[in-house]
Chains A and B, each alone.
Chain A
């Protein structure tokens, strides 16, 4: 009996062979890698304020190949966010978010924010010095949000201070709520891509099976090889155990939070919190804002907005470089 699934017989535009236009597929694969390695880590990780550090220590230094799985998860997460940034930049510079694909952009934007949330909750679970103090700073930032700040901080921490409740909450967010939301929004993003198509249509097409399948397999093997090598060359380490009584001289978050971190250092706290919140709304609704701007101020307005976007991108890059060096 021949199973004939229409979807499998589809042909894809030739442009998909170009890595520049296929950056969305990379984080899609990495998402599954994160889930897969996350399940392995869950076997040994203990979500307890007292034992979390020991369990990560055991994974890193005692369990056979534990360092590799943790390396895949850690570097996979970094690459995941890096690819999302690249994908977003490509969509921005090629104007791919314009009508009718505004909602695709919104779903993608939510995916990026969720991924940053997954990154934050992920490294907060280790309970070493960086993790503890990053959680403390992170929750203090949340606590400074006007009106709901205190409530938000208590909600995340499960009380006034970092305790077992904080670990439990961050753990639930990291392994259940955020991955579930990611899965939902990935599905929504893909459905929207299928419904509204892609911005680059090509006359030449190529078959999904086997040619595109080969491409995907190659990307899969390449990424796995790349992250494996990075893990083997720089195996993930573990800092000192969290010590609430000793503030480290440098508390730095992961690189993808550097722009926000630098901004907070440069401006007063209230501004440092309100501006990023405003930025998130503008970022998510950008296609609509640009359209309104075009209606109101013509092409000049759009040019101004895009210039602001490019300048912001330059700030991101410079902030990441600066904080990596100093």
Chain B
């Protein structure tokens, strides 16, 4: 009897080819899944909102954004956020609504976000961002700004209950990947007042970001920005951005520098105090201790990519430059004070000392002659 070995071999070869084809199908599926738009889950409670807004074309962009969001995918719908939390502030609770359902509020309190994002909220509360509004109010009180401050709140409102989360996370889309991009920070940290973003762009790190940032996979958490076998090298970000140093391990404290700014600490280290109260609280040794602690924090981030020697070299250069700048500033202060005294510059006259020391750079650019305000 014929043993059909030829047929068996052909069948075997074809089966192997089929297996290869199926592996290719698997590969294509994985690739497509990476770029797949998640399917929103619309709960029964949110369905009436969704239907009404879709039929009438109300807040179209919000609905589209939500459909693409993680919230949409996980079934966190309209009512979960737009029915205010019981801890929500008076401003939100008494807000007028155009919705047929009078319980609905347009603004969302950070207490609502806290219900699911407790860790991020607690970190945020500890950070300087949460003081945005308080600082603005303090500035108004201590310096006596007479100008309309509503334009100031476009940035300072990051510290408000309504805008805390949405200042960095685009409302409805609430995308972490877009919040990671330096452009998000540039919304407030750039321009004449504080050209931090522009400084970053002109640095080596910023240049890499400019040249390669478009191809990076921003979905990756910053702590995962390291070589990986599962992603092509072109997709992995290979330069730090704002969050790399200011949001270590994704911390929403954003720097932990709520208590005192870097500038004040530098001055205190030299024994110069803009406010008498600070002199009692902050000795120059203590200021140095905090500065060293922060340097160690920074070192941990830098040595992820650079050697320790390189870090030490660069940090010394940086300290030297800052020292120069501080020396020149200190030398310039008496002259600057004289200019203020002449009132040639339309500048608030209250608490000038604090102004000169703590906010010399910032306030000059914020309110000095030539400012966009």
Contacts and interface: CB of A to CB of B under 8 A. Distances in A.
Q: Which secondary structure characterizes the binding site on chain B?
A: helix
B21 A228 contact: yes
Contacts of B22: 228
Contacts of A215: 7
Nearest to B6: A214
A45 interface: no
Interface residues of B, number: 23
Given A210-B4, A225-B17, A228-B18, A64 B29 contact: yes
A211 B4 contact: yes
B25 interface: yes
A214 B21 contact: no
Contacts of B322: none
A225 B28 CA distance: 15
Contacts, number: 62
A163 B7 CA distance: 53
Interface in B167-186: none
Contact of A61 (B14, B27, B32): B32
Interface in B312-340: none
Given A62-B37, A229-B21, A221 B28 contact: no
A39 interface: no
Q: How large is the interface on A (under 10, 10 to 19, 20 to 34, 35 or more residues)?
A: 20 to 34
B10 interface: yes
Interface in A287-312: none
B39 interface: yes
A225 B37 contact: no
A231 B26 CA distance: 12
A37 B18 CA distance: 17
A176 interface: no
Interface in B1-46: 2, 4, 7-8, 10-11, 14-15, 17-18, 21-22, 24-25, 27-29, 32-33, 36-39
B25 A225 contact: no
Interface in A186-239: 210-211, 214-215, 217-218, 221-222, 224-225, 228-229, 231-232, 235
Contacts of B17: 221-222, 225
Contact of B24 (A61, A62, A221, A232): A232
Contacts of A221: 11, 14-15, 17-18
A228 B25 contact: yes
B18 A235 contact: no
A65 B7 CA distance: 32
A192 B29 CA distance: 44
Nearest to A222: B14
Contacts of A65: 25, 29
Nearest to B24: A232
A53 interface: no
Contacts of A210: 4, 7
A67 B18 contact: no
Nearest to B22: A228
Interface string A164-197: 0000000000000000000000000000000000
Contacts of B7: 210-211, 214-215, 218
Nearest to B18: A225
A218 B25 contact: no
A68 interface: yes
A136 interface: no
Contacts of A228: 18, 21-22, 24-25
A58 interface: yes
Contacts of A211: 2, 4, 7
Nearest to A221: B14
Contacts of B38: 62
A225 B19 CA distance: 8
Contacts of B18: 221, 224-225, 228
A81 to B, nearest CB: 22
Given A62-B37, A221-B11, A228-B18, A214 B4 contact: yes
A28 to B, nearest CB: 18
Contacts of A222: 14, 17
Nearest to B23: A232
A214, A218, A221, A224: which has the most chain B beta carbons within 10 Å? A221
B21 A232 contact: yes
Interface string A227-266: 0110110010000000000000000000000000000000
Contacts of A64: 29, 33
A68 B39 contact: no
B37 A217 contact: no
Nearest to A214: B7
Nearest to A213: B7
A68 B14 contact: no
Nearest to B8: A214
Contact of A58 (B4, B24, B39): B39
Nearest to B2: A211
Interface string B242-274: 000000000000000000000000000000000
B38 to A, nearest CB: 8
Given A214-B7, A215-B7, A232 B28 contact: yes
Contacts of A62: 36-39
A229 B14 CA distance: 13
A225 B15 CA distance: 9
The 8 nearest A-B residue pairs measured at CB: A214-B7, A221-B14, A228-B21, A225-B18, A225-B21, A232-B24, A232-B28, A225-B17
Interface of B: 2, 4, 7-8, 10-11, 14-15, 17-18, 21-22, 24-25, 27-29, 32-33, 36-39
Given A214-B7, A235-B28, 14 more contacts: A67-B32, A68-B25, A68-B28, A211-B2, A211-B4, A218-B7, A218-B11, A221-B14, A221-B17, A225-B17, A225-B18, A225-B21, A228-B24, A229-B21
15 contacts: A61-B37, A62-B37, A62-B38, A64-B29, A64-B33, A67-B28, A210-B4, A211-B7, A214-B11, A218-B7, A218-B11, A218-B14, A221-B11, A221-B15, A235-B28
